[in-house]
């Protein structure tokens, strides 16, 4: 398999508490409005369903309400109703994750929040994660928001500790689950959801950029180092496939006087980004240490970067390298289902032009293409070519069940799929 680069970078133990201060606290439970269309009521129940029983019941009601996949698609595009009386300010919450571990997090809702309009959101991964227990309370979340948060948008600050570092698999499950919970309750602009991180959180931001990019528009790692992801003593045992960074931009900030991460060691990484053609900005703060004292001065530039880089939910070209097929195996509309050799990574690159999909495959024996009516004309045949050879050509049926499956998975009005095209790669076509 031909990959671009794999970086084995210096990893160092992270520390540092951020010295910053706070905001107010609010609580509340969403209340649904009475005056909505019956179809929107059904979608609202489906969207806000908080457990498996509610999800199954709301799915059944939607399927009973319409046997037309196009009608269901239109309903989901409109989306749910959101409560207009949500409290603003900081709310401290938690969720039960893998093995019933409680994962605390905080959500900040700005005074400008409008339930009728999709709102930008940023998740911020805090620093100093190598503690023995989760962060102690709301003051810690306030500090993170004051140190690196733009309070004109919804802000989400999860908690991490030594048994749940940002690059651990329990956090790989936790962060999307928290985002899911927030999207169920608040009107979030799915294409303006960014991920930022400070120090350890910066390393965590790199982790999600390398492993789980679908939800995110852009990544902003601050005073972090990707070498942590290669440090076995910190739970980092990952190969870094730079192909996986090519669809999403990064804005990287480091200080030239940082006592933990030298500019020289990071230059190896950013040079690899440049050679790999990854869209990125590397901002070096003159006399900057291992802190975010620079954030307020840089806030306008960072906001312009966010505004200039909304997510494309259905990109025409996409690629992915996977080391495994049970997780970290999806990028938007491509899913790697089986590797030809489990001990070796697989590479998938796909380009879509109309109803024609050209796919380059290396080391993958099964994959799935997710098809959206935004991009595919289902009244005409769909052609799939693998490594230049036609694999299939024919009509593809849309499915209500497929639509609801991926709508529930993604909670994304702009990225809805009505068909799955599973592919078993013939032996002669793979490499």
Judge if 102 and 246 occupy the same domain.
yes
Which two three-digit tokens encode residue 339? 């590797």
Contact 121, 411 (CB under 8 A): no
Establish if 254 belongs to a structural domain. Answer: yes
126 and 46 share one domain: no
Q: Indicate if 273 and 343 belong to the same structural domain.
A: no
In degrees rounded to 5, what are phi and psi of residue 336?
Answer: -90, 115
Range of the domain at 70: 38-78
Q: Would you say residue 32 lies in a domain?
A: no
Q: Phi, psi (5° rounding) for residue 72? A: -60, -40
Q: Which of residues 59, 78, 97 is at a domain's end? A: 78
CB 406 within 8 A of CB 400: no
Output phi, psi for 131, to 5 deg. Answer: -100, 165
Asked if 204 contacts 166 with a C-beta cutoff of 8 angstroms, the reply is yes
Domain CATH code at residue 227: 3.40.50.1820
Gap between the Cα atoms of 147 and 367, Å rounded? 42
Query: HSE on the CB side for 172, CA within 13 Å?
Result: 17
* Domain-ending residue, one of 14, 46, 78: 78
Let me know if residue 84 belongs to a domain: no
pLDDT confidence of residue 138: 87
Domain end call among 308, 327, 355: 308
Clarify whether residues 273 and 337 are in a common domain.
no
Give the orientation angle of helix 400-410 with respect to helix 52-65, to 10 degrees. 140
Residues 156 and 251 in one domain: yes
> Is residue 326 in a domain?
yes
199 and 277: one domain?
Answer: yes
Return d(Cα 84, Cα 174) in angstroms, integer. 27
Burial of 214: CB neighbours in 10 Å, binned 0-12, 13-18, 19+: buried
161 and 279 fall within a common domain:
yes
**In this structure, is residue 22 part of a structural domain?**
no
9 located within any domain: no
**284-289 contacts, C-beta under 8 A, 24 or more apart:** 284/254, 284/255, 284/256, 285/253, 285/254, 285/255, 285/256, 286/256, 287/255, 287/256, 287/257, 288/223, 288/254, 288/255, 288/256, 288/257, 288/258, 289/255, 289/257, 289/258, 289/259
Q: Is residue 374 part of a domain?
A: yes
Q: Are residues 325 and 374 in the same domain?
A: yes
Q: Are 87 and 157 spatial neighbours (Cβ–Cβ below 8 Å)?
A: no
pLDDT averaged per 10 residues, the chain (length 431)? 35 27 30 64 96 96 97 97 95 90 96 97 96 89 93 96 95 97 97 98 97 98 95 81 94 97 95 95 98 96 98 97 96 98 94 98 97 98 97 97 98 98 86 56
Both tokens assigned to 352: 């879509």
- Do 120 and 255 lie in a common domain? yes
Backbone angles phi, psi at 143, to 5 degrees: -60, -45
With respect to residue 12, please indicate whether it lies within any of the assigned structural domains: no
Integer Cα distance of 111 and 325 in angstroms: 42
Residue 82: CA count within 13 A, CB half-sphere: 20
Residues 327 and 293 in one domain: no
Return the axis-axis angle of helices 52-65 and 38-48, rounded to nearest 10°. 160
User: How many domains does the chain contain in total?
Assistant: 3
Any bridge partners for residue 281, and if so which? 251
- Going by C-alpha positions, the residue among 269, 279, 270 that lies closest to residue 305 is 279
Does 117 share its domain with 69? Answer: no
Claim to verify: residue 65 and residue 103 sit in the same structural domain: no
Distances (CA, A) of 389 to 351, 374, 386: 14, 26, 5
């Amino acid at each position: 398999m031909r990959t671009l680069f794999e970086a084995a970078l210096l990893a160092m133990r992270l520390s540092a508490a951020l010295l910053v201060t706070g905001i107010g606290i609010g609580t509340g439970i969403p209340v649904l409005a009475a005056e909505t269309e019956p179809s929107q009521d059904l979608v609202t129940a489906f969207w806000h369903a908080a457990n498996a029983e509610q999800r199954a019941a709301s799915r059944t009601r939607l399927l009973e309400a319409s046997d037309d996949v196009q009608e269901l698609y239109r309903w989901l595009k409109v989306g749910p109703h959101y409560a207009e009386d949500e409290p603003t300010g900081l709310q401290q919450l938690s969720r039960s994750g893998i093995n019933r571990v409680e994962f605390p997090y905080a959500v900040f809702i700005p005074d400008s929040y409008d339930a009728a309009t999709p709102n930008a959101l940023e998740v911020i991964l805090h620093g100093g994660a190598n503690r023995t227990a989760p962060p102690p309370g709301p003051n810690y979340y306030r500090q993170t928001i004051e140190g690196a948060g733009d309070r004109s948008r919804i802000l989400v600050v999860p908690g991490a500790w030594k048994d749940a570092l940002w690059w651990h698999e329990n956090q790989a499950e936790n962060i999307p689950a928290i985002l899911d919970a927030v999207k169920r309750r608040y009107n979030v602009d799915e294409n303006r959801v960014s991920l930022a991180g400070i120090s350890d959180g910066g390393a965590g931001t790199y982790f999600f950029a390398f492993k789980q990019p679908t939800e995110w528009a852009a990544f902003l790692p601050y005073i972090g180092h990707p070498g942590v992801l290669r440090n076995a003593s910190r739970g980092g045992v990952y190969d870094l496939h730079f192909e996986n960074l090519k669809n999403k931009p990064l804005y990287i900030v480091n200080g030239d006087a940082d006592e933990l991460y030298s500019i020289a060691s990071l230059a190896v990484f950013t040079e690899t980004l440049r050679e790999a053609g990854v869209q990125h900005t590397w901002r070096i703060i003159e006399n900057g240490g291992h802190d975010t004292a620079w954030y307020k001065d840089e806030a306008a530039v960072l906001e312009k970067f966010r505004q200039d880089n909304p997510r494309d939910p259905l990109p025409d070209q996409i690629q992915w390298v996977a080391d495994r097929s049970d997780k970290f195996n999806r990028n938007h509309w491509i899913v790697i289902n089986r590797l030809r050799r489990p001990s070796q990574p697989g590479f998938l690159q796909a380009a879509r032009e109309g109803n024609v999909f050209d796919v380059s495959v290396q080391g993958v024996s099964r994959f799935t293409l997710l098809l959206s009516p935004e991009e595919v004309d289902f009244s005409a045949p769909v052609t799939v070519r693998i490594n230049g050879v036609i694999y299939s050509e024919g009509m593809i049926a849309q499915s209500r069940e497929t639509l609801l499956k991926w709508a529930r998975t993604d909670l994304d009005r702009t990225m809805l799929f009505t068909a799955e095209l599973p592919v078993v790669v013939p032996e002669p076509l793979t490499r």
